[in-house]
């Protein structure tokens, strides 16, 4: 998101008022101009242009993804009054998410006149450009209301909201996320709307109703008239409309305001997507989103977050672990896990974190294959070693022979100088314990040679090419 405050364009051309404009190119670049009135600035018209950029047509490079926005404002005679440009970066994962859009916003003030705002968005990697333009007209005098703004979300500001969040606008104590073309789905069917009403300096009372109209002008949704009051200095009217069950298609959402003898009608475009398309896109979006660390933990339950943290003590430092406690909120736990794995990501050039993927895949494998009685697989000796090191390069297994229990030897030949682990099931019912290892960080059974017997020790030594009875192997 990018806000631009420009000096008023001092033009004196008179015109007839026009409704808010919308432009959309066939490849998805959507522009919409929303006008409001500012009597304290000499009766100027404030214009906010909303630019919706389809990220699916962009490409990602080695350092990520970005596009360049170029803007030009011309008057009725075609004279260029202003140019501006800026670059916006975004995650490479957003390119792969179906229906993902970037939102750019720019503000400027105009005197009465007719203007054209031209926008060109250029992909920084491929060089592909999307271009569109939109007409804008300034008010000749005080209008009854601003243009209508539709939003995908709305919330009340809190003490922590010192500035609006990404993609948000703040009006008074209200924060909302505007859209050039509001796209609703059966999974997210709520439309939010914002309208400024103006009067002649006297407080007024009236009513407000909302309609959703199809392409033929037929109203499919109509709300009852709601009492409203507009202060002497004007006021903001806002609301929410749940459109669950609205058939797929293109619509206009209309706000109908009756103030005394004045009837005000403002509208803005919106669409409702098909359910099957929405479900396919939602599954694809979540799969793409889960590639990133943030997306991986986003949909986890509270129990899932605790389970994701539990095995981290195998690889985390004490200082990293002490941050976690049972009193953390769900959001705080998600931030902790996301931050932890971003720090442990060996390749930060891509949204995919293979270190995280391999670790939790190892935990899942351990839980499936190394569970012992009521002990989760990742907490057993074999599960711990597998979680920390992955699959061994080679494994040798020996069945029980006389008093020697069954045992396994895991050899990691690609672990630097080589690393090996010997596990034994002393009970014979799957209670495997680590006997000895070349890993100095792991404990060993002092009498492991007696447990495995001399024949077992020598067989394990032949597999590892280690003479456990030599003086050089005395430390084992």
Cβ atoms 118, 33 nearer than 8 A: no
pLDDT tens across 252-264, in order? 999 999 988 889 9
Q: How confident is residue 4, by pLDDT bands cut at 50, 70 and 90?
A: very low
Output the six-digit token pair for 399.
Answer: 């069945």
| Summary count for the chain: helices (H), strands (E) | 9, 23
Which residue is it, tokens 């808010």? 20
E strand or H helix at 115, and its extent? strand 114-123
* pLDDT surpassing 50 at residue 16: no
Residue 49, pLDDT > 90, answer yes
The DSSP letter of residue 189 is -
State the greatest distance between any 2 C-alpha atoms of the chain, in Å, as a whole number: 105
Of 87-101, 102-116, 218-232, the one with minimum mean pLDDT is 87-101
d(Cα 366, Cα 370) in Å, to the nearest integer? 5
Q: Where are the alpha helices (DSSP H) in 396-447?
A: none
What integer is the mean pLDDT of 65-77? Answer: 93
pLDDT at 9: 32
What tens digit of pLDDT does each residue of 117-147 get?
999 999 999 999 999 999 999 999 999 999 9
| Residue ranges per structural domain of the chain | 1-141, 144-280, 290-365, 392-473
* Mean of pLDDT values over 214-237: 93
Banded pLDDT at 277 (limits 50, 70, 90): confident
Mean pLDDT check: name the lowest of 267-271, 325-329, 446-450. 325-329
The answer to whether the Cα torsion of 27, 36, 257, 187 is positive or negative is: positive
pLDDT in tens, 314-363: 999 999 999 998 888 999 999 999 999 999 988 877 778 889 999 999 99
- Give tens-digit pLDDT for 351-400: 788 899 999 999 999 999 999 988 999 999 999 999 998 899 999 999 99
Residue 440 is predicted with a pLDDT of: 86
**Cα–Cα distance measured from residue 446 to residue 336, given in angstroms and rounded to the nearest whole number:** 39
1-141 with 144-280: one CATH topology?
yes
Would you call 279 exposed, middle or buried from its count of C-beta atoms within 10 A (0-12, 13-18, 19+)? middle
Between CA 385 and CA 383 the distance in angstroms is 6
**What pLDDT, on the 0 to 100 scale, is given for residue 470?**
87
Tokens representing residue 207 in the block: 């009513």
Residue 8 has pLDDT above 60, yes or no: no
Environment class of residue 342 by beta-carbon count within 10 Å: exposed (0-12), middle (13-18) or buried (19+)?
A: middle
Beta strand spans in 185-261 (E): 190-197, 204-213, 219-222, 226-230, 235-242, 249-259
Which CATH code is given to the segment(s) 144-280? Answer: 2.60.40.10
- Say if residue 33's pLDDT is above 90: yes
Do the Cβ atoms of 75 and 112 come closer than 8 Å?
A: no
CATH class name, domain 1-141: mainly beta
Would you say the pTM of this structure is higher than 0.75? no
Number of C-alpha atoms within 13 angstroms, CB side, residue 140? 7
């Amino acid at each position: 998101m990018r806000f631009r405050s420009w000096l008023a364009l001092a033009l004196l051309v008179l015109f007839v008022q026009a409704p808010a404009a919308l432009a959309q190119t066939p490849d998805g670049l959507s522009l919409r101009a929303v006008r409001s009135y500012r009597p304290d600035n000499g009766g100027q018209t404030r214009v906010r242009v909303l630019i919706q950029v389809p990220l699916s047509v962009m490409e990602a490079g080695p350092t990520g993804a970005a596009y360049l926005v170029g803007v030009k404002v011309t008057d009725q005679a075609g004279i260029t009054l202003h140019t501006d440009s800026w670059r916006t970066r975004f995650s490479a994962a957003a390119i792969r998410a179906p229906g993902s859009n970037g939102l750019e916003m720019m503000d400027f003030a105009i005197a009465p006149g007719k203007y054209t705002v031209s926008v060109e968005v250029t992909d920084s990697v491929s060089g592909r450009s999307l271009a569109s333009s939109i007409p804008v007209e300034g008010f000749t005098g005080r209008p009854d209301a601003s243009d209508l703004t539709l939003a995908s979300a709305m919330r009340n500001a809190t003490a922590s909201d010192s500035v609006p969040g990404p993609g948000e606008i703040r009006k008074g104590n209200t924060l909302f996320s505007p859209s050039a073309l509001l796209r609703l789905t059966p999974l997210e069917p709520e439309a939010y709307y914002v309208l400024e009403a103006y009067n002649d300096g006297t407080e007024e009372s009236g009513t407000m109703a909302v309609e959703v109209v199809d392409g033929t002008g037929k109203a499919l949704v109509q709300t009852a008239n709601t009492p409203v009051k507009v202060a002497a200095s004007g006021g903001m009217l806002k609301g929410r409309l749940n459109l669950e069950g609205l058939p797929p298609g293109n619509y206009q959402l209309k706000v109908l305001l009756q103030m005394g003898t004045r009837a005000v009608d403002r509208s803005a475009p919106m669409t409702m997507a098909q359910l099957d398309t929405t479900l396919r896109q939602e599954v694809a979006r979540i799969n793409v989103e889960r590639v990133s660390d943030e997306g991986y933990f986003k949909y986890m339950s509270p129990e899932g977050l605790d389970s994701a943290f539990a095995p981290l003590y195998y690889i985390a430092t004490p200082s990293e672990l002490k941050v976690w406690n049972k009193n953390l909120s769900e959001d705080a736990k998600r931030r902790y896990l996301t931050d932890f794995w971003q720090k442990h990501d060996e390749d930060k050039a891509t949204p995919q974190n293979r270190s995280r993927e391999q670790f939790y895949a190892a935990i899942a494998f351990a839980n499936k294959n190394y569970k012992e009685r009521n002990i989760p697989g990742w907490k057993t000796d074999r599960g711990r070693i597998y979680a920390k090191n992955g699959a061994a390069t080679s494994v040798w297994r020996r069945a029980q022979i006389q008093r020697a229990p069954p045992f396994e030897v895991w050899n990691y030949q690609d672990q630097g100088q080589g690393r090996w682990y010997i596990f034994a099931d002393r009970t014979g019912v799957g209670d495997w314990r680590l006997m000895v290892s070349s890993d100095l960080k792991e404990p060993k059974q002092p009498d492991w040679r007696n447990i495995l017997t001399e024949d077992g020790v020598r067989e394990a030594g032949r597999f590892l090419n280690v003479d456990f009875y030599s003086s050089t192997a005395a430390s084992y």
